[in-house]
Amino acid sequence: MARRKRILASDSTGDDDVNLTPMLDVVFILLIFFIVTAQFIKEPGVEINRTEVDNTERQNPLGILIAINDESEIYIDKEEVSLQEVGFRIRELREDNPKGRLVVQADEDSDAGVLISLMEIINNEDGLTAVPVSVEQE
Amino acid sequence: MRGRQAKQPDEASVDLTPMLDVVFILLIFFIVTSTFIQEEALGLEPPPPPSNTQSDPENSAILIFVDQDNLITVNGRLTDITGVRANMERLRAENPESALIIQAHPQARTGTIVKIRDEAYNAQMNRVNIVQSEGD
């Protein structure tokens, strides 16, 4: 409305009007970039205490997160999962995200037996020779 | 159609403002939700398949055993987490080819295992296996 009034008032051919088209192009390109790069990672949704270590490696891009809480229960996508079901769930998540890294978030007070059994399953499913376990830099 | 356009020439130009609002809201939504989750991780080796476990000669492997009370034993010698690296390096000096086997009781703490593997990284051990003891 304001624009229309101004055009009428200034009595010009519309040259004083700001051309929004280039900005719109840029905004659209940004929008498409963010839509394409947005990865919705399914978080396990449990709070864990990570072990503090010296050697860490940043995992990028992240794909699948599996958590073991301090009660040694396995969580994927905010649901408790039994050890037998984990392989199936990994295969399911791999369909959505074939390239992302798999990371195990193991609480430092969980039972090592659960982690080692889980690593065996991950090795069978994903063929990883070293399973990344989430840690904290000391 | 032609008659209406001639009467109201202003209606012909499309007002882009509402679309721009929507596009901006979408843009901000995607910028905000694309918070990249960062994970720092340490690689732990899964146990080897059960077929070739007997192939390693007993004397060429360093065995670190962690029992259910998190007591650490390096080749039969009781130690704690700060002594693991020294023990590991001493045994490797005796036999440079030796592999490292971390054997954990199923009820041992994960934190202990991760810390031992970290010490092995510090000591630059590259043949490491993590297994769990046959458990009750």
What are the boundaries of each domain within chain A?
Answer: 2-37, 51-137
Strand partners of residue A75: A67, A80
Residues of B in contact with A103 (CB under 8 A): 39, 41
Judged by CB atoms closer than 8 Å, whether chains meet at A116 and B107 is answered as no
* Architecture of the domain whose range is A51-137: 2-Layer Sandwich (3.30)
Flag whether residue A110 sits within 8 Å of chain B, measured between CB atoms: yes
CA distance B89 to chain A (A): 17
Q: What does the DSSP 8-state code read for residue B59?
A: G
Reported pTM: 0.74
Binding-face residues of A in 68-87 toward B, CB within 8 A:
68
Chains A & B: contacts with CB separation below 8 Å = 156
Judged by CB atoms closer than 8 Å, whether chains meet at B109 and A43 is answered as no
Q: How confident is the model at residue B1 (pLDDT cuts 50, 70, 90)?
A: very low
The pLDDT profile of chain A, 138 residues, written as one tens digit per residue, is 444 544 444 444 555 677 888 888 888 888 888 877 776 778 888 889 999 999 888 887 888 899 999 999 999 988 999 999 999 999 998 888 888 889 999 999 999 999 999 999 999 888 888 899 999 988
Judged by CB atoms closer than 8 Å, whether chains meet at B23 and A134 is answered as no
For residue B23, what pLDDT is reported? 85
Q: Which residues contact A34 (CB under 8 A, 6 or more apart)?
A: B27, B30, B31, B34
Q: Which two tokens stand for residue B22?
A: 């929507």
Higher pLDDT, A43 or B65: B65
Radius of gyration, alpha carbons of chain A: 25
> How many Cβ atoms sit within 10 Å of the Cβ of residue B64?
25
Kindly report, residue by residue over B23-38, the tens digit of the pLDDT: 888 888 887 776 667 8
Q: Which two tokens stand for residue B97?
A: 């080819």
A23, HSE (Cβ side, Cα atoms, 13 Å): 10
